[in-house]
Amino acid sequence: MEHVVVGGSLIPPINFGIVEENVYRSGMPNELNFPFIEKLQLSTIIYLAPEEPSPAFLAFMDDQSIEMVSLGDDAPSAPWKPTSEDVVLTALEVLLAPHRAPLLIMCNLGRHRTGTVVGCLRKLQRWALTSVFEEYRRYAGAKVRLMNEQFIELFDTDLVSVPTTAPDPGRMWKWLSWIRY
């Protein structure tokens, strides 16, 4: 697959950010972003949008041997409703599996669905809610959804199964060990 590079620059997708070591977040990449995404050497993409990704992006993932875990199928019919608890729990299960790294969490614009999953991860990491909401708002911009913040606040971290051992101790993430109680 041929990639578009503008002046030799690597262009990240909209709302790209580093969540933790080998964990990234963003909105839907376009062809200009493919060289940047390629440099991340992703193993897995957690896809939270209800729409099918573009054929070019599907071909890119196939070319790069990136597994897509699609969790947008049960997206709420009303766009302002928060992501379901089942989707967040499944996304966190995938995210916490060290063999899935490096991985990218993404939805259309990398704001609300992605922000909700990352916010619940932060709560699991025992971040202060003010810090969790500051991060959510930084990516949501003027489009903050209070229902998403309420979902994060009320999210029951006891429902999350945190792995006790890594299949390969060399790949165990330092930040994952901080979650353990």
**Exposure string (b/e) for 72-99, b if CB count within 10 Å is 16 or more?**
beebeeeeeebbeeebbbebbebbbebe
Predicted confidence at residue 174, as pLDDT, reads 59
> 79 versus 107: which is more confidently predicted?
107
Q: 171 pLDDT band (50/70/90 cuts)? A: very low
Model's pTM, two decimal places?
Answer: 0.85
Taking 60 as the threshold, does the pLDDT of residue 14 lie above it?
A: yes
- Average pLDDT value for the chain: 85
Is residue 107 part of the annotated active site? The answer reads yes
In terms of Cβ atoms closer than 10 Å to its own Cβ (0-12, 13-18, 19+), residue 27 is buried
Predicted confidence at residue 163, as pLDDT, reads 77
Mean pLDDT of 134-147: 88
Taking 50 as the threshold, does the pLDDT of residue 181 lie above it?
A: no
Q: DSSP code of 62?
A: H
Q: Helices (DSSP H) in 2-109: which residue ranges?
A: 34-39, 55-63, 85-95
Taking 60 as the threshold, does the pLDDT of residue 79 lie above it?
A: no
Domains of the chain by start residue, with CATH: 17-158 (3.90.190.10)
Taking 90 as the threshold, does the pLDDT of residue 162 lie above it?
A: no
Return d(Cα 128, Cα 11) in angstroms, integer.
32
Return d(Cα 121, Cα 107) in angstroms, integer.
16
Q: Which of 107, 109, 117, 152 is catalytic?
A: 107
Amino acid at 163: P
> 117 versus 177: which is more confidently predicted?
117
Taking 80 as the threshold, does the pLDDT of residue 109 lie above it?
A: yes
Q: Which of 60-69, 137-146, 170-179 has the lowest mean pLDDT?
A: 170-179
> In this structure, what are the phi and psi dihedrals at residue 45, rounded to the nearest 5 degrees?
-120, 125
Work out the percent of the chain whose per-residue pLDDT is above 90.
65
Work out the percent of the chain whose per-residue pLDDT is above 70.
80
